Amino acid sequence: MKFPSLTLVALAGMLISAHALPEPLSKPEISTSQAEADVEEIIPSINATEHGLSPRGTLKLMCYTTATEKWAADGRVPIREDGKNYDLKGKNLYDVAGKFCYEKNGYKFSKNGGYTSQKYWFKNALKTFPLPFVPVTVNIVNADFRAGTVNAKFCADMMVKVISGCTAKGRPSRFDHFIGGEVQDSSGWTYAVLCDEGYCMKL
């Protein structure tokens, strides 16, 4: 999805002048496999038993690249949660992902699959991005139709793997220039941090 240039300019002007975030935008179907993976690293599974979960086997870390992404967020500067009027001053991307996980603790997936997600606005870190803020979605996707319950600690561990793994030396993201990634386990649950708006993707 591409916005006309005049619309983008007007929207950016509104954001800057009013220091307000835009109204929620239409969301395309979530796809945590939207990007080519710069990294397809197999990493050891954490102990799922201690979290009351079935063992999930090995984990595959995938870091998105500039080949498909045209956005970047400064992980040090979250602005606020989408639709909420409080700010996230003093927090960072790790804090926001952890907040998501603990708020989703106990969320139940059925064998019908599905996802649960939340959008947060971060400071833009890409010069060519048309807005001063970037919508960053944190989500869990049950793509392989495995029933289960979200465990906050397990989820938070997975989000740490995504963020730290994709910002490690030699990886496509830096903490102040984060372009997304995901980790998927053998059960088919995927934990991701991404921009899933059409204008964030190179189509």
The two tokens of residue 48 are 């799922």
Within 10 A of 107 (CB to CB), how many other CB atoms are there?
16
Share of residues in the chain with pLDDT > 90 (%): 64
Q: What is the pTM of this model?
A: 0.74
Confidence band, pLDDT 50/70/90 cuts, at residue 137: very high
Q: Phi first, then psi: give them for residue 83, nearest 5 degrees.
A: 85, -5
Q: State how far Cα 97 lies from the chain centre.
A: 8
Confidence band, pLDDT 50/70/90 cuts, at residue 175: very high
Confidence band, pLDDT 50/70/90 cuts, at residue 165: very high
Angle formed by the axes of helices 152-166 and 93-103, to 10°? 160
Can you give the C-alpha Rg of the chain in angstroms? Answer: 17
Residue 36 has pLDDT above 90, yes or no: no
